[in-house]
Every structure is written in structure tokens, then in C-alpha cells.
Amino acid sequence: MAINNPAGDHFNPPSNLSQDFEEYNFEDLEVDELFWQTNKPKEESVPWRKVSLTEGRNLKTQKIYSFQRRTKVFQKI
């Protein structure tokens, strides 16, 4: 027989302040799309913009960096 435990029976959904990210390869993004290098918003989460097939711009420093085509990047959902 199942035991009823009201104190232990609760649903703890993620807060509405959490951000959802989806993982992509750099090559799958379109030019001018925003992306992040991490899916953890608590870490330094600097947005990037893809500027060519192999380059992305750090939007905080405005410097352009090269990326491998298969680099894992993240986009907010």
C-alpha cells in the first residue's frame, strides 16, 4: 500500500527567473544571430554575435574571435 507523505509530496519547478538555453554547433547559426559560450547564467554570461562563417564578436569587448565550426554554443529559448 502506498504511503501518503504530505510533507514530502511537493513539486519544485524551476523559478520563472531561470533562463533556458539550447545547444548548437557554431556552423548551424545564421550570420548576425546571438549566442552564448555557456548555458549557465550565473557564470560570466557575455553575449556574442556571429559575424561570418568562422568568426564571432564579443558584444562586451567588441573584439572579433575565430571559432571552430563544430564549437558548441548556446542560444536562449
Tens of pLDDT along 47-72?
Answer: 999 999 999 999 999 999 999 999 99
pLDDT tens, residue by residue, 15-45: 666 678 999 999 999 999 999 999 887 777 8
CA distance 7 to 18: 25
Instruction: Name the residue among 76, 36, 27, 74 with its Cα closest to residue 55.
Output: 27
Strands 48-50 and 34-35, sheet pairing: antiparallel
The pTM score is: 0.75
Range 30-36 contact pairs with CB under 8 angstroms and sequence separation of 24 or more:
33/75, 34/59, 34/75, 34/76, 35/73, 35/74, 35/75, 36/73, 36/74, 36/75, 36/76
pLDDT of residue 42: 74
> Residue 28: how many CA atoms within 13 Å on its side-chain side?
11
pLDDT of residue 20: 85
